[in-house]
Structure 1
């Protein structure tokens, strides 16, 4: 396994970041009485130039197990403006809901739609549907985890590796007869035949013995040399990290990083224009005591060396009552689009979502 390397944050301003001046809110999905929560979406670029955004549209309440379906909006101008009305993309087919979307343009050219089908606190499984007509119609669902259990897979988490392998980072939180448990066990599910069949990684990962959260909501990114880096949210005051040299089958023991955070996920993707990595998370380096544990501020950073060091830290939002998380990332021309939760105690912490549009050059201020 790869030897651990340090992560350095180039700290700027209060709590470690300056404020980003050029961000633009281009869509706000407000909750309502019959739609109490909108959250956990992802983007895909269509062949005609439009961008499709699919997210979880709750109807039966604002809790994670409330009834919900998948809804969509589209943009025809690189994310500047969005359609006004929700379109149901996938009706609820779970005992509770369907949620946590990942969208991928596969090497085959098809669009892959991954989502969780949640039936109970012991049964939550990712499924895959594909479209060969640019999201007009979808295939029958394929179950992506053969075993039973409650598996958490965040939105915008499924990736396709250089080899063509599909990888789902997941955290196990429940088993039949044992109910839900908060201490997550991280692992990956892998497919080498375009999603037709799946198997579990050889490695499973756990946090230190004193951790109540375990390793939750893992995300994975691939380095240019083929290695994979995983980050997981924890209750250890930071993101924890693991490495794989074999396409996600085996992983190094999880280690602490200097990416300080509450129990909240980080999101990260490569910037096509520069090849650098973009990290989006709640930076809690030097956080005031009254903000400890809160999912604020909403911070961006850039790494020129594939996660060894992070620079250009900027707070996108810093409302002390804000709740910023579950970020989907895509790039449109010379801008980055972030689809993310942006709630507060008044409307519900996870109830409101936004799409924020930022010039790529502004990431380097």
Structure 2
């Protein structure tokens, strides 16, 4: 992949990082005659120094109606630790300091995982998460809580999906008909180092008027797929991009899976593999306010680096604008993205062997000037 100008992950204070990134960009652009891209500021949100357990993964966040950012992640001693809990923290509007993490979901008997936090149009904040009673994720169910006060207090836990193996990772979207669509997935297999080929993505529709959930059909593909991220292109017409299933062994097989719906997410086409490689890692897809699509993925078949951003201006037919947000040794994975009211794009992701959560902030122009 070639970009007009590229800056690697910067670990300086945000102001100094932006200045250094701009200086590097100007020098590189002058050298090769390329257009100058807007710098991408990257900061650490939370890391090993925060006493919520060394493991901090994966993050989800939302912009609240008052402009604050609310972020959730799960932490503990490791991915399968019994004492893992869901933590929440806030970045007040106009501030550069996140609040200290607090426990927002826990259970003395079961492990927690994969939180998804999202504010609905009626200002209710939803927290979805995985409840794992057994040794592997295939024993999980999907729990949820709601908050009426921007995440200051939460309801008791209720179960959204009771079938063993049901999990959540990606945020819901509001459809043109007013329904909420939540991507979920059904993970199968008892081996913690792989998922079985019948692992599948599916979707839950929520009617705010009746408060009823309905389940779509399941999306199957060659290697299995999971953790769909979805957008609505036009009323009732949607498409989703999914992580591929299988193992984590080095190789050149396995790509991001695409599925489509023409009836508001009630039914979905079989999964087909796209051009994008996937190392069995989460992806992100959002629709920007101008109609462009932002896709975040690891541009590799077998490692979770680099973390690449791609933009489509034609409804997902082509993705000519691509730029690495982070690259190098290690992993940069499980991106979550939002576009805030000021138009900026925010992306959180996990790094440092799933012990650090970082946030990148940039305008769309930081990606639009880049090319393959």
Name the TM-score class by shorter chain.
0.7 to 0.9
- Match status 1:300 vs 2:309: yes
> Within 1, Cα distance between the matches of 2:118 and 2:52?
30
Q: Does the aligned pair in 2 maintain the 1:42–1:54 contact within 8 Å?
A: yes
> Within 2, Cα distance between the matches of 1:12 and 1:216?
29
In the TM superposition, what is the alpha-carbon distance from 1:167 to its structure 2 partner? 2.2
The CA deviation string for residues 41-67 of structure 1, in whole angstroms up to 9 with x for no partner, is 222223332211122122xx2124542
For CA contacts below 8 A with separation 6 or more, give which structure has more relative contact order.
Answer: 1
What is the match of residue 169 of structure 1? 183
- Match status 1:311 vs 2:292: no
- Match status 1:140 vs 2:156: yes
State the TM-score, normalized to the length of structure 2: 0.79
In the TM superposition, what is the alpha-carbon distance from 1:23 to its structure 2 partner? 1.7
Q: Give the alignment's Cα RMSD to 1 decimal.
A: 2.5
Alignment gaps of 5+ in structure 2: 8-20, 22-38, 247-252
SS at match of 1:19: coil
What is the match of residue 66 of structure 2? 48
> Within 1, Cα distance between the matches of 2:177 and 2:191?
37
Which protein is richer in strand relative to its size? 1
In the TM superposition, what is the alpha-carbon distance from 1:225 to its structure 2 partner? 3.6
What is the match of residue 268 of structure 2? 251
Kindly tell me the number of residue pairs found equivalent between the two proteins: 325
Alignment of 1:83-102 (within 5 A): 83-90=98-105, 92-93=106-107, 95-102=109-116
Q: Does the aligned pair in 2 maintain the 1:100–1:153 contact within 8 Å?
A: yes
> Within 2, Cα distance between the matches of 1:173 and 1:46?
31
Alignment of 1:192-207 (within 5 A): 192-193=207-208, 196-201=211-216, 203-207=217-221
Among 168, 171, 182, the alignment partner of 1:153 is 168
- Match status 1:330 vs 2:312: no
Alignment of 1:255-274 (within 5 A): 255-272=272-289, 274=290
> Within 2, Cα distance between the matches of 1:116 and 1:107?
24
What is the match of residue 218 of structure 1? 228
What is the match of residue 228 of structure 1? 238
> Within 1, Cα distance between the matches of 2:64 and 2:185?
30
- Match status 1:357 vs 2:357: no
In the TM superposition, what is the alpha-carbon distance from 1:308 to its structure 2 partner? 0.7
State the TM-score, normalized to the length of structure 1: 0.81
Structure 2 CA distance for partners of 1:232 and 1:47, relative to 1, 3 Å = closer
SS at match of 1:218: strand
Among 19, 36, 39, the alignment partner of 2:6 is 19
> Within 2, Cα distance between the matches of 1:258 and 1:194?
40
Alignment gaps of 5+ in structure 1: 1-10, 285-291, 344-348
The CA deviation string for residues 329-365 of structure 1, in whole angstroms up to 9 with x for no partner, is 122324211111112xxxxx22221112223321222
The CA deviation string for residues 271-308 of structure 1, in whole angstroms up to 9 with x for no partner, is 22x32111111113xxxxxxx51111110111111211
In the TM superposition, what is the alpha-carbon distance from 1:179 to its structure 2 partner? 8.4
In the TM superposition, what is the alpha-carbon distance from 1:34 to its structure 2 partner? 6.0
Structure 2 CA distance for partners of 1:317 and 1:117, relative to 1, 3 Å = same
SS at match of 1:223: strand
Structure 2 CA distance for partners of 1:242 and 1:326, relative to 1, 3 Å = same
Q: Does the aligned pair in 2 maintain the 1:335–1:359 contact within 8 Å?
A: yes
